[in-house]
Every structure is written in structure tokens, then in C-alpha cells.
């Protein structure tokens, strides 16, 4: 940490600033806990749970677990990508429209505009996906959701191609817009040439005057040369400012392009592994093998083969990493769902051994209830953790890129807080599924703040700043999170690990 740009500050000041900024990131993360838990409670109540329970018989516990897990993760991943792309588009337009002058780009306005666009885009995308998932489940059941997930997985590579084509066209527009810099340079060069020509003529005139009349230099000549010197310095200053502004624009635009390419690849391909696992497992259930042990064997083999092929790739990319994580997480949700159904069976066997006979219908109903509850709880939790992690993946690099840790942490926290209030106000319009998806988007915005705080901890020149930042992050998260030790205790390490990840 010795190379930190904060090294000029005293350890005590580093600790104070680090604790304050860490507390901001932790507080907004903790503030999302209760609303998200309340939304999950509504989703797992009797009414919304009924259509999910009815489909356990169709796809089986494993199929239900993989289907809900992959749907929740797809919603989380896609909403984050939508937010990042909207933020990148806003930043790109902002940079391009201010490329015609030689003044420095207003970076504060740039990142504020991009941050607002990204957070709103993520939240609205999550709400839209949540609404449509709820509608599909209520109208067509889990088989309809399976079809929708499959079609979306097939369409994403095509959307990937179309978006890259459109983005290249946008880059061409940005190139045309940057012609302003060329005009600016040309104008400055013309003025420099005119000044050199004028000075040359003045020197020649002075030489002729000296040859004819002798030494006539005086205060008027000195004043004239002072004016010329000031004009020359002004032209040099304008030229330097123009070059620096152009370099800054190109640097920001290149970084934006890199981010967009990485996240578009991530959107198109990261969901394929878990979608394949979901389709295979669910089809076993549709054809009547939902509870057969062979499904577990096939599921394990499929996860192992796909994970091996991705992890051994020589050109390992960010989408492969997240794709493997999503697939393994879907597998965990499926196993938890299966375990919940097996727990009901074991309890029924114990009760029967004690002489309490139960009908097969009652046992089957309890199996469906427990499987559905476990699938929804586990699926929603992993989606929240993924959303947080992906938000931290944005916040961490922003701090390292030099955007400004205070701007990122405080700005993302304020935006997330505003969105949290907005989601609560719009709850009647959004519906249960829309509100759940929107809250996942808010968690992503909170993840940007928490991830930026985690990344900030590694930039201090002393351990005092690092420890104080982590302490503020933990205290803020637990205090406003009403001491949800399990939830926050799992989310904070995820935010830290993803904040250190550099997908760009």
C-alpha cells in the first residue's frame, strides 16, 4: 500500500476519512436488508407460492431449484448489464457533446450523469424482468418459464451481435464529433503562424529602421514585444489545454468501450452454462424422472463437464468466471430444494415409526410447500448476493480508475437511497414481482458503494486507514441491517472479493 495516492495524509486522518466513507457504504448496504426481506416474505406467502407449488410435480425438486435459481440469476445479471450499458451510453454521449472546445471535461457532471443512468437502468430493468417472470409463472406455470428462459438464452448471442454493431456506429459518431478537436488545433496553428509572420515582419522593420536612423529602441518597442510574448504564451496555454482535454476524452472513451465490450460479452454468454443445466434437469422432470436418482448424477456430471471446459480455457474471460459461479450457485439451489423435500420425507417416516400415520396426499403437499419455499428463499438470496457482487465489480474499478472514492461511495449511496424510497412509493404499480426485481437493482447500486469502500481500504498508505475503512463498512452494514449476521456476514466478503476483481 505504500504506493497509495493518499500517502500524504496522516494515519489519523486516513482512519477518520476511511471510517466515514466505509460507514456510508455499509449503511446503504444494511438499509436494503429489511425491504428485500419483506419482499421475499410476500413472495413466499400462500398466494404467490401456490403456482410454484403446483409445478413441483411437473419438474421435480431439482428441476424447480435449477429453474428458480437460474431465473433469479439471469434477472440479476441482465439488470446489472442493462444499467452498465445505459451508464456507458450516457457517459459516451456526455464526453462526445463536450469535445468541441478546449476546456477540460467536467468529470463530476460526467460521472454523476452516468451513475444516475446506470442505477435507474438497473432498477427499471430488474422491475421489468420481475414483472414478466411473475406474469409468466401465473399464466403459463414453470414450463412456460422454462420456455421463456430457453428462448432468452438463444436470443442473447444475437442481441450481442446487434448491440456491438450499433455500438460501432456510435463510436463512428463519436469520431465525427471529435473533429472539433482537429478544428481547434488548426485554429491555434493558424494563429501561431500568423503571430510568427507578424513578429518576423516587425523584426525586419526594426532592422531597416536601425540601418537608417540608428538606435531608436525605447519603451514603445518593449511594450510591443511584451504584448507579443503574452499572446504567444496564451496560444501555448490554449494548445496545451486542448491536447490535455483531447487525451482525457480519448482515455475515458477507450475505457468506456472496454467496459461495454466486457459486459456485453458477459450478458450474452454467462447465462448459457446454468441455462443448459436448467433445461436438462427440468426436462427430466417433465418426462416423469423428476425424483429419480439419475437426475442427480446427470446434474453433477453436467456441472463438472461444463465447469472443466470453461475453467481450462486458454483465453479465460470475465463471463466465463461469472458463468461458472452462476452454474455452481444454481446447482447449490437445486440441492437445497431437494434436501428440503427429503427432510419432509424423513420426518414423515419418523412420525410413522412412532405410530402417527399420515396420508400420502398430506406428505406430498408438505413436500411441495417445503421445496417451493426453499427454492424461492435460496434463489432470491443468491440473486441478491450476485447483484451485490456485480455492483462491487463496478464500484471497485471506478475507485482504481481515479474517478474519486468519495464521489463513488457517497454518490452511489445517495442514488441507492433515493431508489429505495422510489420503489416503496411505486409498490402498487410495480406489483410483487416488479418490486422484487427493482429491489435487486437497488442492491446492485448499494453494491457499487460497498465495493468502492472495499476497494478504498486497499489504497491507504497505512494500516490505520485500511482497518478503519473495513470497520466503518462492517459497523454501518450491521447497524442499519438490524444485525442480520448471516445475510450481511455472507454479503460483505462477496462485495470485497468482487471489488478486487478487474474484469476490464
In a domain, 30, yes or no: yes
Report pLDDT for 53. 80
Look at 100 and 344; give whichever has higher pLDDT. 344
Following DSSP, what letter does each residue of 84-146 receive, concatenated? Answer: HHHHHHHHHHHHHHT-SSSSPP-HHHHHHHHHHHHHHHHHHHHHHHHHHHHHHHHHHHHHHHH
In a domain, 382, yes or no: yes
Report pLDDT for 101. 43
**2 confidence band (pLDDT: 50, 70, 90):** very low
Query: Taking a C-beta distance cutoff of 8 angstroms, is the pair 252, 105 a contact?
Result: yes
Report pLDDT for 1. 40
In a domain, 165, yes or no: no
Integer angstrom CA distances of residue 18 from 118, 396, 453, 493: 25, 15, 8, 18
> Domains in the chain: how many in total?
1
pLDDT digits (tens, 9 = 90+) for 348-406: 787 777 777 777 777 778 888 888 888 888 888 999 998 998 888 888 888 877 667 78
In a domain, 27, yes or no: yes
pLDDT digits (tens, 9 = 90+) for 153-178: 888 888 888 887 877 776 666 555 55
In a domain, 262, yes or no: no
Helix and strand element counts for the chain (H, E): 15, 0
Report pLDDT for 437. 87
The highest-confidence range among 15-24, 94-103, 337-346, 361-370, by mean pLDDT, is 15-24
Sign of the C-alpha dihedral computed for residues 138, 139, 140 and 146 taken in this order: negative
The neighbour count for residue 480, using CB atoms within 10 Å, is: 19
Report pLDDT for 322. 86
Mean pLDDT of the chain: 79
pLDDT digits (tens, 9 = 90+) for 394-411: 888 888 776 677 888 888
**103 confidence band (pLDDT: 50, 70, 90):** very low
Query: Taking a C-beta distance cutoff of 8 angstroms, is the pair 462, 11 a contact?
Result: yes
Report pLDDT for 188. 63
The per-residue b/e assignment along 177-203, b for 16 or more CB within 10 angstroms, e otherwise, is: bbebbeebbeebeebbeeeeeebeeee
Which of 8-12, 42-46, 266-270, 454-458 shows the lowest per-residue confidence on average (mean pLDDT)? 8-12
Following DSSP, what letter does each residue of 365-431 receive, concatenated? Answer: HHHHHHHHHHHHHHHHHHHHHHHHHHHHHHHHHHHHTTS-HHHHHHHHHHHHHHHHHHHHHTHHHHH
Residue 9 gets which letter from DSSP?
S
Integer angstrom CA distances of residue 442 from 76, 117, 128, 384, 452: 11, 13, 14, 10, 16
| Pairwise CA distance, residues 274 & 349, whole Å | 34
Report pLDDT for 166. 77
In a domain, 257, yes or no: no
pLDDT digits (tens, 9 = 90+) for 407-420: 888 888 898 888 88
Residue 180 reports pLDDT greater than 70: no
In a domain, 476, yes or no: yes
**φ, ψ for residue 380, nearest 5 deg:** -70, -35
pTM of the model: 0.80
The neighbour count for residue 83, using CB atoms within 10 Å, is: 29
Q: What angle do CA 296, 298, 304 make, to 5 degrees?
A: 100
Residue 243 gets which letter from DSSP?
H
Report pLDDT for 3. 41
Helix axes 360-400 and 46-54, enclosed angle (nearest 10)? 110
In a domain, 170, yes or no: no
| Pairwise CA distance, residues 45 & 384, whole Å | 19
Residue 99 belongs to domain spanning: 11-158+269-500
pLDDT digits (tens, 9 = 90+) for 48-99: 777 778 777 778 888 888 899 899 898 888 888 888 888 888 887 777 776 4
pLDDT digits (tens, 9 = 90+) for 191-240: 666 666 666 666 656 656 655 665 545 445 566 666 666 766 776 777 67
**117 confidence band (pLDDT: 50, 70, 90):** confident
| Pairwise CA distance, residues 44 & 84, whole Å | 30
Alpha helices by DSSP H, 270-404? 272-284, 293-311, 318-353, 360-400
The highest-confidence range among 69-73, 114-118, 458-462, by mean pLDDT, is 69-73
Amino acid at each position: 500500500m505504500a504506493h497509495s495516492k493518499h500517502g500524504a495524509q496522516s494515519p489519523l486522518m486516513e482512519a477518520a476519512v476511511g471510517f466515514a466513507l466505509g460507514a456510508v457504504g455499509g449503511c446503504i448496504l444494511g438499509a436494503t436488508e429489511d425491504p428485500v426481506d419483506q419482499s421475499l416474505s410476500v413472495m413466499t406467502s400462500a398466494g404467490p407460492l401456490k403456482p410454484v407449488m403446483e409445478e413441483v410435480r411437473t419438474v421435480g425438486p431439482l428441476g424447480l431449484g435449477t429453474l428458480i435459481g437460474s431465473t433469479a440469476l439471469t434477472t440479476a445479471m441482465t439488470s446489472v448489464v442493462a444499467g452498465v450499458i445505459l451508464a456507458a451510453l450516457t457517459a459516451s454521449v456526455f464526453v462526445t457533446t463536450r469535445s468541441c472546445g478546449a476546456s477540460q471535461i467536467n468529470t463530476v457532471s460526467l460521472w454523476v450523469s452516468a451513475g444516475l443512468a446506470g442505477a435507474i437502468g438497473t432498477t427499471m430493468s430488474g422491475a421489468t424482468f420481475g414483472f414478466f417472470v411473475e406474469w409468466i409463472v401465473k399464466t403459463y406455470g414453470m414450463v412456460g418459464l422454462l420456455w421463456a428462459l430457453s428462448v432468452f438464452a438463444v436470443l442473447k448471442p444475437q442481441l450481442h451481435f446487434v448491440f456491438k454493431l450499433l455500438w460501432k456506429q456510435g463510436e463512428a459518431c463519436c469520431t465525427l464529433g471529435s473533429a472539433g478537436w482537429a478544428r481547434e488545433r488548426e485554429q491555434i496553428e493558424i494563429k501561431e503562424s500568423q503571430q510568427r509572420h507578424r513578429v518576423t515582419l516587425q523584426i525586419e522593420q526594426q532592422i531597416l529602421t536601425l540601418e537608417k536612423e540608428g538606435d531608436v529602441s525605447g519603451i514603445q518597442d518593449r511594450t510591443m514585444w511584451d504584448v507579443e510574448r503574452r499572446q504567444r504564451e496564451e496560444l501555448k496555454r490554449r494548445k496545451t489545454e486542448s491536447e490535455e482535454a483531447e487525451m482525457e476524452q480519448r482515455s475515458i472513451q477507450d475505457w468506456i468501450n472496454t467496459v461495454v465490450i466486457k459486459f456485453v460479452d458477459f450478458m450474452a454468454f454467462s447465462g448459457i452454462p446454468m441455462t443448459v443445466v436448467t433445461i436438462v434437469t427440468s426436462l427430466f422432470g417433465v418426462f416423469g424422472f423428476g425424483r429419480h436418482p439419475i437426475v442427480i448424477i446427470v446434474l453433477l456430471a453436467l456441472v463438472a463437464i461444463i465447469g472443466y471446459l470453461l475453467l481450462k480455457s486458454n483465453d479465460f474471460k470475465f463471463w466465463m468466471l461469472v458463468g461458472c459461479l452462476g452454474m455452481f450457485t444454481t446447482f447449490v439451489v437445486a440441492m437445497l430444494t431437494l434436501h428440503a423435500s427429503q427432510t419432509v420425507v424423513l420426518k414423515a417416516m419418523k412420525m410413522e415409526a412412532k405410530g402417527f400415520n399420515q396420508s400420502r396426499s398430506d406428505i406430498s403437499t408438505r413436500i411441495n410447500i417445503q421445496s417451493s419455499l426453499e427454492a424461492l428463499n435460496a434463489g432470491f438470496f443468491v440473486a441478491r448476493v450476485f447483484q451485490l457482487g456485480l455492483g462491487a465489480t463496478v464500484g471497485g474499478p471506478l475507485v482504481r480508475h481515479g474517478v474519486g472514492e468519495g464521489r463513488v461511495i457517497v454518490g452511489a449511496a445517495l442514488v441507492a437511497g433515493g431508489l429505495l424510497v422510489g420503489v416503496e412509493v411505486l409498490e402498487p404499480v410495480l406489483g410483487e414481482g416488479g418490486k422484487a426485481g427493482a429491489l435487486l437493482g437497488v442492491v446492485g447500486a448499494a453494491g457499487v458503494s460497498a465495493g468502492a469502500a472495499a476497494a478504498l481500504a486497499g489504497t491507504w498508505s497505512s494500516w490505520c486507514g485500511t482497518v478503519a475503512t473495513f470497520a466503518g463498512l462492517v459497523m454501518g452494514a450491521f447497524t442499519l441491517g438490524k444485525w442480520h449476521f448471516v445475510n450481511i456476514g455472507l454479503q460483505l466478503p462477496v462485495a470485497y472479493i468482487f471489488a478486487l476483481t478487474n474484469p476490464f
